[in-house]
Chains A and B, each alone.
Chain A
Amino acid sequence: MNLRDQSSGLFWLGISIFVCIESIRSGIGAFHSPGSGFLPFWCGVILAVFSLILVTTSTLMKQWKGRITDLWKGTEWNKVIWVLFSLFLYPFVLPFVGYLIATFGLMIFLISIMGRSKVWIPGVSAFIIVLVTYVIFHLLLDVRLPTGILGF
């Protein structure tokens, strides 16, 4: 049994059922007059069929293999959690404090957790990165970066 394929197959089966339900709500129409839900419905059906095939083949495998936790064996998975957490937090903080402060904080955090370094390196590197990207994107390329409640 391949647990990884089995679990991912079940996930996609759930997605396909959801898509089919939503498509029926949108209206599948008829073959001579396909509605809004026509393509997503049939793609949902195809996805469901292949998910079932994947679940079946992975269940029928004689040997146990593909434990889900093995995917993270020998990896620095804790770094990944912190990185994803900080990346998800960033867009919520950004409108309040603005690009300069939010990005400075994000860069210091990311550089610090990526690896060991001297105390001043994350701060100086983050400062340079923020400054250079601000000049290139905001001043030269005219990208309107968020200013936040502090006005900068």
Chain B
Amino acid sequence: MDLLHHIFYGFSVGLQPENLLFCFVGVFLGTLVGVLPGIGPVGASSILLPATFRMSPISGTIMLAGIYYGAMYGGSTTSILVNIPGEAASVVTCLDGYQMAKQGRAGPALGIAAFGSFIAGTLGVVGLMLFAVPLSEFGLKFGAPEFFAVILLGLTLITYLARGSAIKALMMGAFGLILSCVGLDPIQASPRMTFNMMELWDGVGLIPVAMGLFGISEVVINIEKTPSTEILKTKIKNLFPTISDWMQSKGAILRGTVLGFFLGILPGSSPIISSFLSYSIEKKLSKHPERFGKGAIEGVAGPESANNSASSAGFIPLLTLGIPANAIMALIFAALLIHGMPPGPFLLKEHPDLFWGVVSSMYIGNVMLLILNLPLIPLWVQVLKIPNKILFPLILLFCIIGSYSLKNSIFDIVLMMIFGMFGYFLRKFDYEGAPLLLGFVLGPILEMNLRQSLILSKGSFSIFFARPISAVFISVAIILLTTSFIPHLVKVKGKYEALTKDD
């Protein structure tokens, strides 16, 4: 009964004209960003983050959320029509989606991607509602040691689930934590690593870091490639999948939804991992796995459902425990912090309008996206025709304006350029930016809770193991770290033995 009351309350907030407008703006921009290969939802959110400071926190969060799950919808369009993923979570959709398009079945591919995303996104929001309240109440039992432990687990999980090297991901997480320490010490107010620059007393800004790492560097990486974005010349018809398509896809959609949801809750996870895993599972479970990669509709339905469900589930750790699950959640986290509404167990109690308003807007947003994505596909196809030589400079300019607009500071533009170049080299040397951003955003909370815990325990680390909740989280973090390094150490030992044997 309470839940029903909360849902109605949420809709009373979400259906306010201002919030409806920003929900639409968010999902429209998200779809646009998802369609365009040059920029992803993190880059777009970092560009629009300063704009949210002029809105109410609810509207700003609704818009940023809309960009996030909207990009999951839009990414499938380019994957299917151009064989280039619009954003990273749609990489897998290229494998079968483009093949379906080549066989004259672009319509059903786009249709099942949209419907699957809608079903998964909606069920994901239902899960969010059901899990959020008990998890939030559980979070009220947290003290400084528990918060430290859960953040440590989140940072560890990023590395465990990193696409590339776990060591490199851990290094990025550590560097992100170091970067978060630049500026005045929050407890003693003494400057740290400011190099006598007044501009760094407030620390390194989130916007220049995020825009540089994800906006500027992504554009620069795309500039050095010479992509051939030839849009498949095929008539897009019959957007509504046939009954046979539904029968083939229904299992994939449901499995993808559940998988994406539970993976999405984990701090450190991302829709990319959900979509990859969903594809692997569908291929394994299929009676005809040889069809995959040649136009199997389950290869589109499963991953697209998984990534949408994961995007909804990602809000659970953010809003209930204050732990961002991935880079975009970190940006929403920072936006709420700046608005004076720190996400965490108290958010539900102190700002129920924000929480339930955002949840209801996700229902509304999913409906808008279904409407936007199907009839507007010809529009998105036209958008894809915008030449990169216009699109890329435009994105760079938006980054510059966004970075400058926060404090009217030229220094922030310079900082963004530095991080842009840094992000470019990180990508070239196979380092991921997401762990760095997460470490950067979580660093201040981690430090505060660590220092408070050590002061409380008079310097003893046993405080983290004496309390059951933090003991569990820390033990899981240690196990994950160890298991991710054992194969590495075995490899090193083997190589060393091989070398010494040769000698």
Contact = CB atoms under 8 A, between A and B. Distances in A.
Contacts of A47: 171, 174-175, 178
Interface in B430-467: 430-431, 443, 446-447, 450-451, 454-455, 458-461
Given A60-B492, A60-B499, A115-B387, A141 B174 contact: no
Contacts of A87: 216, 396, 417, 420
Interface in A1-53: 4-5, 8, 12, 15, 19, 22-23, 26-27, 30-40, 43-44, 46-47, 50-51, 53
A90 B400 contact: yes
B233 interface: no
A115 B229 CA distance: 14
A54 B495 contact: no
Contact of B454 (A31, A110, A125): A31
Given A57-B488, A80-B424, A115-B388, A110 B396 contact: yes
B232 interface: no
Interface stretch (B11-19, B85-93, B253-261, B405-413): B405-413
Nearest to B415: A91
B346 interface: no
B252 to A, nearest CB: 37
A116 to B, nearest CB: 9
Contacts of B138: none
Contacts of B413: 90-91, 94
Give the bracket for the number of chain A residues in contact with chain B: 35 or more
Nearest to B188: A36
Contacts of A38: 447, 450-451
A137 interface: yes
A114 B220 contact: no
A67 interface: no
B461 to A, nearest CB: 8
B272 interface: no
A15 to B, nearest CB: 7
Given A60-B496, A79-B224, A83-B220, A54 B168 contact: yes
Which secondary structure dominates chain B's binding surface? helix
A112 to B, nearest CB: 8
Contact of A40 (B193, B390, B424): B193
B384 to A, nearest CB: 16
Given A39-B443, A53-B167, A83-B223, A141 B454 contact: no
A146 B410 contact: yes
B370 interface: no
B176 to A, nearest CB: 9
A111 interface: yes
Given A44-B178, A50-B170, A60-B492, A36 B446 contact: no
Given A12-B171, A26-B190, A87-B417, A125 B390 contact: yes
Given A31-B454, A79-B223, A141-B51, A133 B397 contact: yes
Interface string A103-137: 10011001100110100000001000100010001
A9 B424 CA distance: 17
Interface in B444-503: 446-447, 450-451, 454-455, 458-461, 488, 491-492, 495-496, 498-499
A43 B174 contact: yes
A136 B187 CA distance: 41
A4 B429 contact: yes
A71 interface: yes
Given A54-B167, A60-B496, A141-B51, 16 more contacts: A4-B429, A34-B451, A38-B447, A39-B443, A43-B178, A47-B178, A62-B498, A80-B224, A91-B417, A103-B397, A107-B397, A110-B393, A114-B392, A115-B387, A115-B388, A117-B389
7 contacts: A26-B193, A31-B459, A43-B175, A57-B491, A115-B387, A133-B397, A141-B405
Interface of A: 4-5, 8, 12, 15, 19, 22-23, 26-27, 30-40, 43-44, 46-47, 50-51, 53-54, 56-57, 60-62, 71-72, 75-77, 79-80, 83-84, 87-88, 90-91, 94-95, 103, 106-107, 110-111, 114-115, 117, 125, 129, 133, 137, 141, 143-146
**Complex A-B, nearest 4 residue pairs according to Cβ-Cβ distance, in ascending order:** A32-B459, A31-B459, A114-B389, A110-B393
